[in-house]
Structure 1
Amino acid sequence: MLTTEQVRWLAARLRASRLPLLLVMAGGVVTAFLAVVASWATGMALDEALKRGVGAGPLLALGGTLLASQLIRALVLYLRQLASIRLGTALERDLRSELVTGVLTDARPGDRSVRLSTLISDVRAVRYMITPGVDVGVAACAFVVVVLGSAVIWSPQLVLAPALYAIGFAWVSVRMLRGISRAARTTRAQSADMTERVTEALQNIEAVRDAGGPDAVWGRLRASASAHRDAVVGQGREERRTPLFLLLGVVQGIGFAHALLLARDGRLTVGDMVGYHSLLLLLGGPTFSAGAAYPALANGLAAIARIHQLFTGLRPADGGSFRPDADVPQLEAVDAVPAEGRQLPPRIAVTLPPRSLAVVTGPTGSGKSTLLQMLAGVEAPAAGSVRIGGVDATEWRREDLARRVVLVAEHDALFSMSLAENIGLGRLGAEGEEIRAAAGQAGVAEFVPALPDGWDARLGTGGAALSGGQRQRVALSRALLSRADVLLLDDPFSALDAGVARRLAAELIEVARHRTVVVVSDRADLRARASHILHLDDSQLTVHIPELRGT
């Protein structure tokens, strides 16, 4: 079930769709009431026929009432379902848009499979929670309440059977929703785990094949798939474990027997008995519809919990309100404490003046990539602050921060677009000459003639048409094309041959005359020209400032 905070979070997103929500709720009550009208009209028609014979006038009036009520009921049912579909699709659209915006602007690494599962599966589950979940669930509850209240039409004593059903229905509903919700949470967690393992295997398929380890990977996938299958079977078992049909049969038997006793004493007519029995038959609606509503509701509740958890980990898309000036900003980490579980020294303190060339060194796993993410304002410290231009990174408007500070990961993303379009993502609207100039700085122009369509060559998903070194150069040229004042480069030389790496290092030294460049590298030529050398190990960050930087 949902926590109070999650209920408030969901209510805030439903506030814009109050009218469709009210139509769904009111429609459930009205359709239930009009169904009761049919039971009443049937009993009245039978009594009229037995009392006066099959006369045209009264029966036509009752028949007209019955027909009109059911036509109105059909119209209300259509409008109710239309409103629920509109409500569900609007909520799905808004959540998907908010999630996509949040994930893209947050740009925090990790949890990719969880986010993918949330965007695709969980948001859709929320729509199904609304329709058929809430739609059918509200209608089912409305039928129970209206039938209970309408039994007094024939006799106040006949409330007994509907009351027994209402109590049993409420008890069974709570138990079923709790059980299915627990099973749904397990199923969705296993689904996310399986997605993560499949994605990991596909992303590293070449390494797995070259290492001769498909059997080990397949074993992990098989174990994950088995766990997911068991979770799905367990959820299905919970969904089918319902005593509502037994409850319905018992209640209808009690109600019919009670009506017979009252009829024997002369307190009910034959028409009353038929009308009341028709009323009890209406309880079949909630009984049968619970099988469709409860799984949708439970899956939706589990999905909302996961979506809310993801939202709490994302920062607001608009960020702060600070508007920077045009100068190159200073970078500072002021007693920044890394988030729990991050591989970094316990406290980070460093200041990089404008137009610095800082080289980050350290053993594998010492936290060099995390340090760059922190300096970029992507990884928020648990305590202390990261200040850019003298202002906390969280106070920057996200748009300004993305424009002024660019982080190039070791394996940066390329898209299934042309080479020129991929580079042009560094600054939308850049001219072709500007794109080629940035590509020349990063050494991309060297391999363009070898591509089938030159600058128009499509790179495939993730840049599959290029080698690792070529992908690195494209990502770097994208950063150089931007007008960012700060470039944070995570090991841009790892897949380059010696000659290309040497030329690229010289370009970065030149770029640092006008921008701040922080680069993860062990290259001696960069260290020799660096203004700051940051060395990371398990216990501390050591900052070395050479006395003189070459010109």
Structure 2
Amino acid sequence: MADSAPQAPGQNEERAKSKKIGALKALLPFVWPYRSLLYAALAALVITAVISLTLPLAVRRVVDNFDTENAYILDQYFAAALGIAGLLAIGTGLRYMLVTRLGERVVADIRKAVFDRVIAMSPAFFEKLMTGEVLSRITTDTTLILSVIGSSASIALRNILIFVGGLVLMLATSPKLTGLVLLIVPAVIVPILVLGRRLRVLSRENQDWIAASSGNASETLSAVQTVQAYTHEAASRVQFSDVTERSYDAARRRISTRALMTVIVIFLVFAGIVGVLWIGARDVRAGDMTQGALVQFVIYAVMVAGGVAALSEIWGELQRAAGATERLVELLTAEDSVQDPDTGLLLPEPVAGRITFENVTFDYPSRPGTHALDNVSLSIEPGETVAFVGPSGAGKTTIIQMILRFYDPASGRITLDGVDLAHLRRDAFRKAVALVPQDPVIFAASARDNIRFGRPDATDAEIEAAAKAAAAHDFIAALPDGYDAYLGERGVMLSGGQKQRIAIARAILRDAPVLLLDEATSALDAESERAVQSAVDTLSTGRTTLIVAHRLATVKKADRIIVLEDGRIVASGPHDQLVAEGGLYARLARLQFTDGMAAE
């Protein structure tokens, strides 16, 4: 793991997509609902730009009237300049408030839209993209967009107005000097365009490495106990350090390119201004223009030069935001391998729980060509308890995942009460299913909230009843705060068996007609297993129950046992019949009930 050289996500195929600043257009659908706020911000921006452009006019009047005998006129010009400065301050503050508020609102909507999209994606999506990278896009990339909407974009527009307006007023002040200034414009534009393209590529690479670093840290920290148990801390540090250093290296090259562009632009701009001033000073001495006119021209020239310099820096920010926008748009437009129909069919009410597999073949996207299920046909009647057994990798858990429609079969179909799952909306038919997964998921919340996850509208009494049925009440009540005790991230406060009992209580509370138990009692001690098994027996009454288990003692009471091997059904029947027939099940039973006991 540590020896492999990390690769930035999408380093080859995705990098080509980040070529145009036009990617920022994708933000318009998020900005448009708040167009009134946008228009107000633009109005404030235009007003402040116009006020800024009037200041040099007042300064010119002051300079040209230094020698006047009427001090009152000079006082009026100073008062006017002070009033303009006050208006500029108020307008700038208003612009900042409106634009920042707009940016925060739009970014909040983008984060919600991305999360809403990602949380509905099927597991196949997360086989290709690390969770840490998704989180990086939701946090880091949206922060870049916030900087653009809440600051850079308005500053860019303001400087464009200052540049255009200042250029016009420069022309009105002195066409000759303005013509000389315009000669240096091509020299400024060329490095912006040339280095800007390089900056786009580096910005996208930098963001990719940041996401890779975040994904690596997330994966390692989520398995920190395994990392420590295998004394893998040093190797994990090396790997994270490598990815982080690559991120830094990409950032360093981006910063160097941007700094070079800034140096070239600012030097060319101000070198040109110095040359123009030299010529202007000679014109004043010759009497061709007044001192006030030269000062006015100089101020406009500085404003125009400052605007160009600011635009060169903001261009780099816009490049980074364009890359960030592309990465977020990729999530928003990602195609899910499992699609809901536009208008889903309705399940018959009440849901009986009849499940049918008709010639189902399926390969996991990460293992194409290897059948997880191979032409499986199976019918499970309402209220029947069916157990699935077989070696690891036989397809037992895949059956559960297909019923939940985490994946679609490559061929064949799966029906619930005679309706093809592909014709139902996933959020509709999953309400009829309760799952206890092989690895129970415990959220960073209280015990009560973890159980209530099964049915958010459940009362406290119903939650406690479910916990008692799952043999979880006693250990929950013994916690310092009882049902309100905080269980920690991923349930670090609980043992493996306690986590499973919380997950079983959650499924009991859901009270669904179809119950899926994937190794639901694998982490329980003998006493707890007996209690939970009794609860499961009670719960499964009148419900269609599918049990996946390696321990055959937990499935002996099933109405029917399905034996899977290499994705195929190789035997089916009750326990006694399968033992009498010999074959794979009899061999597994002999290992567990005879050799296994002898070994103990």
Instruction: Give the TM-score of the pair, scaled to structure 2.
Output: 0.78
Kept in 1: contact 2:395–2:564 (CA 8 A): no
Greater CA drift, 506-515 or 269-278: 506-515
Mapping of residues 39-438 of structure 1, within 5 Å: 39-49=56-66, 53-106=68-121, 108=123, 111-164=130-183, 166-242=185-261, 243-260=264-281, 267-287=288-308, 289-290=310-311, 293-313=314-334, 321-322=343-344, 323-324=346-347, 325-331=349-355, 338=363, 340-341=365-366, 345=371, 350=377, 352-353=379-380, 354-361=382-389, 363-364=391-392, 368-369=396-397, 371-379=399-407, 388-391=416-419, 393=421, 396=424, 399-438=427-466
| Worse-superposed segment, 82-91 or 149-158 | 149-158
What amino acid is the match of 2:304?
A: L
Deviation at 1:329?
A: 4.7
Look up the equivalent residue of 1:467 and give its one-letter code: S
Paired residues of 1:333 and 1:351 also in contact (CA < 8 A)? yes
Distance 1:432 1:258 in 2: 85
Report the equivalent of 1:15. Answer: 32
Q: Deviations over 1:255-284 (max 9, x none)?
A: 324535655775433322221111111134
Give, in whole Å, the separation in 2 of the partners of 1:194 and 1:467: 31
Q: SS of 2:487's equivalent?
A: coil
CA 1:94 to 1:25, structure 2 compared with 1: closer, same or farther past 3 Å? same
Counterpart of 1:34 in structure 2: which amino acid? I
Instruction: Describe the superposition over 1:492-545 as per-residue Cα deviations: whole angstroms up to 9, x where unpaired.
Output: 2332234544554565455444333333323435277254627363xx443755
1:125/1:299 contact within 8 Å kept: yes
Task: Say whether 1:542 aligns with 2:563.
Answer: no
How far is 1:467 from its partner? 0.7
Q: For 1:171 and 1:239, locate their aligned partners in 2 and report how far apart those are by CA, in whole Å.
A: 14
Residue range with higher mean Cα deviation, 447-456 or 115-124 = 447-456
Matched residue of 1:473: which SS? helix
The CA deviation string for residues 65-110 of structure 1, in whole angstroms up to 9 with x for no partner, is 4333333322222221111101111012212233344444557466
Deviation at 1:123, TM superposition (A): 2.3
* Higher mean displacement: 338-347 or 455-464: 338-347
Q: Which residue of 1 aligns with 2:524?
A: 496
Q: Report if the CA contact (8 A) 1:132-1:296 is conserved.
A: no
Distance 1:477 1:369 in 2: 21
User: C-alpha displacement at 1:64, in angstroms?
Assistant: 4.1
Q: Give the counterpart letter for 1:46 in structure 2.
A: V
1: CA distance between counterparts of 2:186 and 2:265? 11
Q: Counterpart of 2:159 in 1: which secondary structure?
A: helix
The equivalent position to 2:52 in structure 1, one of 12, 30, 35, is 35
Asked if 2 retains the 8 angstrom alpha-carbon contact of 1:255 and 1:280, the reply is no
Secondary structure of the equivalent of 1:533?
A: strand
The answer to whether the 8 A contact 2:471-2:532 is kept is: yes
Q: Distance in 2 between matches of 1:384 and 1:168?
A: 66
Q: Which moved more, 1:312-321 or 1:457-466?
A: 312-321
* Contact 1:330 1:351 survives alignment (8 Å): no
Judging changes above 3 Å, is the alpha-carbon distance between structure 1 residues 448 and 17 closer, same or farther for their aligned structure 2 residues? closer
Deviation by residue 1:360-385 (Cα, 9 ceiling, x = unmatched): 44554566545533431334567876
**Pair 1:472–1:221, CA change in 2 (3 A):** same
TM-score by length of 1: 0.84
Q: Is the 8 A contact 1:105 1:317 kept in 2?
A: no
> Which whole-Å deviations, capped at 9, do the CAs of 1:24-75 have from their partners, x for residues lacking one?
444444333322221223223333445xx25335434433443333333222
CA distance in 1: counterparts of 2:501 and 2:221, whole angstroms: 24
SS of equivalent residue, structure 2 residue 545: strand
Q: Which amino acid aligns with 2:233?
A: P
Q: Distance in 2 between matches of 1:435 and 1:113?
A: 33
In structure 2, the CA distance between the partners of 1:311 and 1:63, relative to structure 1 (3 Å rule), is: same
Q: Is the 8 A contact 1:342 1:370 kept in 2?
A: no
- Written as runs of structure 1 = structure 2, the 5 A alignment for 1:511-522 is 511-522=539-550
In the alignment, structure 2 segments of 5+ residues that lack a partner are 1-17, 578-600
- Pick closer, same or farther for the CA change 1:254–1:17 going to 2, 3 Å: farther
- Runs of 5+ consecutive residues of structure 1 not aligned to the other structure: none
d(CA) in 2 for partners of 1:66, 1:350: 86
What is the CA distance between 1:178 and its match in structure 2?
3.7
Paired residue type of 2:179 = L
Structure 1 pair 385/80, CA: closer, same or farther in 2 (3 Å)? farther
| Per-residue deviation, 1:397 | 5.1
Describe the SS at the equivalent of 1:283. Answer: helix
Note closer, same or farther for the CA distance 1:274–1:451 as it changes in structure 2 (3 Å cut). closer
**d(CA) in 2 for partners of 1:175 and 1:339?**
45
Q: Secondary structure of 1:202's partner? A: helix
CA distance in 1 between partners of 2:293 and 2:364 (Å):
71
Q: Kindly state the Cα deviation for residue 308 of structure 1 after the two structures are TM-superposed.
A: 1.8
Secondary structure, aligned partner of 2:95: helix
Aligned length: 546
Q: State the percentage of identical aligned residues.
A: 23
Q: CA RMSD in A?
A: 3.7
